[in-house]
Structure 1
Amino acid sequence: MDAVIETAWTVSAIRTALEASALVREGELTLRIIEGAEPVLLATMHDYGDLPIYLSVGGAQIVCSVLLWPVAEQDDRPAFNEFLLKAQRVVPLSNFAITSVNGEDVYELMGELSCNTSLQTILIELRTLAENAIDATGLRETFGAPASDTAAA
């Protein structure tokens, strides 16, 4: 069972802890904080084709997300969206969403954690989300969108 920590995480604390952790494999990821209204941690997952995962901390939760592809590129969007709502078990521990990036709707894959979880669980979430994002590209092709080598940036 994973231990719950007493102190809630911040983006900066997560970065520092991951960079110092023996749990992270050498060359597995690169971390960078993107400053804004709220800081975001960009984890570039090298074991997954340099997949970018964004991690933010707010309230009582940590949110990790991957931008997938523009909604406009998805053929038969109603069927695809219905499939996503019915088949959440296709990508365990992750949720699909639609978010706006520079005025364009983009499919997003997300996972949420408590701010009082262990560093090991945060790393497991990053790895699981990366695997699920790769698996999600197969769904894209199943519903008629063109194959893509990379997720949207």
Structure 2
Amino acid sequence: MDAVIETAWTVPAVKAALEETSLVREGELTARVLEGADPVLLVTMHEYGDLPIYLSVGGAQIVCSVLLWPVSEQSDTARFNEFLLKAQRVVPLSNFAITTVGDQDVYELMGELSSKTTLQTILIELRTLAENAIDATSLRDTFAA
């Protein structure tokens, strides 16, 4: 069973921990806090083509997400969406969603963690989500064929 920490993470605390830990490989990622109503951590995964991952903390959970592509660009969206709902295991430890950005619906890949999980588990989630986002892109291309 995964160990937990006593105090729940905050976005600034995750940023500071990522910058100080030896668990992050040199040049693997950079993290920047985006201020807003609730701060969000933008983690740029350099080993995955500078893939942006957004990390937020709220209540009992940490949510990590990657914006994929506009729903309007997916051929046969109804069939693709049905496929995603039936094939949850295509991208392990991640879930597909549709979120609205501006006035456009966008596919999103996300993972959730306890806000009291270890930094090592947060790093595993970031790396897994990055890999799954790359896999999801190839799934999009395969599905369109």
Percent sequence identity is: 81
Residue equivalent to 2:56: 56
- After superposition, the CA RMSD in angstroms is 0.9
| Residues 71, 77 of structure 1: 8 Å contact kept | yes
In structure 2, C-alpha distance between the alignment counterparts of 1:143 and 1:128, rounded to whole Å: 22
| Residues 74, 143 of structure 1: 8 Å contact kept | no
| Residues 111, 125 of structure 1: 8 Å contact kept | yes
Residue equivalent to 2:79: 79
C-alpha displacement at 1:101, in angstroms? 0.5
Instruction: State the TM-score, normalized to the length of structure 2.
Output: 0.98
Listed as ranges, the gaps of 5+ residues in structure 2 are none
C-alpha displacement at 1:139, in angstroms? 1.2
User: Structure 1: which amino acid aligns with 2:132?
Assistant: N
In structure 1, C-alpha distance between the alignment counterparts of 2:129 and 2:40, rounded to whole Å: 16
Residue equivalent to 1:17: 17
C-alpha displacement at 1:3, in angstroms? 1.2
In structure 2, C-alpha distance between the alignment counterparts of 1:97 and 1:73, rounded to whole Å: 15
Question: How many residues in Structure 1 have an aligned counterpart in Structure 2?
Answer: 145
Pairing of 1:2-151 with structure 2 (within 5 A): 2-144=2-144
Q: SS at the partner of 1:54?
A: strand
Instruction: State the TM-score, normalized to the length of structure 1.
Output: 0.93
| Residues 44, 52 of structure 1: 8 Å contact kept | yes
User: Structure 1: which amino acid aligns with 2:106?
Assistant: V
User: Structure 1: which amino acid aligns with 2:124?
Assistant: I
